[in-house]
Amino acid sequence: MEYVFAFLVAGILPIVFILGMIKPDWLVSNRLKIKKKRWFIFFMCFILFWIFAITGSLISESKMTPAEKIARYNEIKIEKEIKTQKKEKEKQEIDSTQKVAKEKNNEEKNNAHYFTETSKGDFIDGNNSFSIEVLKIKDKKRNAGILEGGYGKYRYFYLKITNITKNPKAIDRDDFYVESEDGAQYEHNTTQAIADFVITINRDAFGAGQDLAPNVPAKGVIAFEIPKEGKFKLKFKQ
């Protein structure tokens, strides 16, 4: 019986519909206008299509054996699972893309704010050997009071340095460098090192000529010739 409904849906209705659109007078009374006849045929074919399709489906399902019903149910279930997995995969791909974009955006923001210029009160990482506190920072046009000038400027770091190991340990100006925001590095200024050794009355952490005793703070001054513009960070070589 279901084959009859399938034949009506797939074979007869299309022919009736096409014939009705071309020659509506053959199927509907002449009392109606051509346009109205076509609309009437269209709706009738539409309604009949669904009636035949639903009826045929119900009849076909009622004649299925239990095994066929289980197979049909599993087939529908598998199709649904495939669609669900496809949607989940698409969602994961979208989430992954958004996550990568968000992480990239956050990384760019963090990088933009990552560089922090050394300022008074900061502690420099002393590689587990020294506690290095920045007491003061001063910029000068010339070096150590000597008539020496250039296109840059001289930045002085006044430090309090404490040996935090259990044994005497030396510290040298060569252990420090200044890094700019764009990654350029600057070594300490030699003229300043000589001047500090000569003019420093109190013991200088860099110019005392002996190792620093454990847990005994000492002050030291170190200078770098750097550009007039930009941000700079004092670092201890690891």
Amino acid at 200: T
- Can you list the positions of beta strands (E) in the chain? 123-126, 130-140, 153-163, 176-180, 185-186, 218-226, 232-236
- Which residues pair with residue 221 across a beta bridge? 158
CA–CA distances in Å: residue 235 to residues 1, 71, 78, 126, 179 = 90, 73, 63, 9, 7
- Which residues pair with residue 177 across a beta bridge? 235
Report helix, strand or coil for 171. Answer: coil
pLDDT at 132: 92
Distance CA 221, CA 233 (A): 15
pLDDT, average across residues 97-123: 74
The domain 123-236 having CATH identifier 2.60.40.1240: the answer here is yes
pLDDT band at residue 79 using 50, 70 and 90 as cut-offs: confident
Let me know: does 124 contact 137? Beta carbons within 8 Å.
no
Decide if pLDDT at 233 tops 80: yes
- On average, the pLDDT of the chain sits at 75
Bigger pLDDT: 9 or 220?
A: 220
pLDDT, average across residues 117-129: 90
- Predicted confidence (pLDDT) per residue in 180-200, tens digit: 988 899 988 766 555 554 544
- Which residues pair with residue 125 across a beta bridge? 131
Decide if pLDDT at 234 tops 90: yes
Instruction: Tell the residue number behind the tokens 């071309």, with chain if given.
Output: 22
- Predicted confidence (pLDDT) per residue in 20-64, tens digit: 666 666 666 666 666 667 777 777 777 777 776 666 666 666 566
Question: For the chain, what are the domain ranges?
Answer: 2-62, 123-236
The rounded percent of the chain whose pLDDT value lies above 70 is 61
pLDDT at 228: 87
Let me know: does 13 contact 45? Beta carbons within 8 Å.
yes
